[in-house]
Amino acid sequence: MVPARLGKAEVTARPGSHLLTKPTGSLASVDYSLNPYIGCGFDCSYCYAANFVPDDERKSNWGRWVEVKTSAIEEMEWSDRWQGKRLFMSSATDPYQPLEARVQLTRGILDVISRAANPPSLLIQTRGPLVTRDIDILRKLKRLRVNMSITTDSDEIRKVFEPSCASIERRLAAVQELKSAGIVVGVCISPMLDERSGCIW
């Protein structure tokens, strides 16, 4: 069930919105980008994804609205074009943003992937420790990497640029939990938030 609001973010259902897209540019090395949501409740002030929103008002309100691709699990079930391919989750939203705890859309998609006859190679990019909730499914995936975004070692700086995100300590704990579960995990330091100046590099 899709709530009307979660925190400061307005939430709407977006049935029929395509889940898989062919990436270009720096992501051209993967076959499909997989974005369960449009928009993101993490509201990082530097997020590049806001620039892809065609509506100026929505662009300026980035972080205060999220659309749920409610037909995403169904699309994964009836289509087999993603099987055996290279998937990137996600290029323009965080699959483990706060709304995922309620909607469990990412979990449902991963469950479909875990049962595939010809499983894909999957890269998950997130800054959400909620990813550890799905270790039971993630451990079933043989070609998987989870990248955790950790942009600074200062939680004070994190609060300025990523006020709705989990603390650095919780993200590092999630990395350790994933690693202990035998999951290949990496840390992405991009952008780098400088503790002394608060600048983005």
The secondary structure of residue 79, as a DSSP letter, is: -
Sign of CA dihedral 75, 79, 83, 87: negative
- pLDDT higher for 52 or 161? 161
pLDDT in tens, 3-22: 888 888 899 999 988 899 99
pLDDT above 80: residue 194: no
Beta carbons within 10 angstroms of residue 84's beta carbon: 14
Closest CA to 3 of 129, 102, 132: 102
pLDDT above 90: residue 146: yes
Residue ranges of the domains in the chain? Answer: 5-188
pLDDT in tens, 151-164: 999 999 999 999 89
Which CATH class name applies to 5-188? alpha beta
The single-letter code of the amino acid at 94 is D
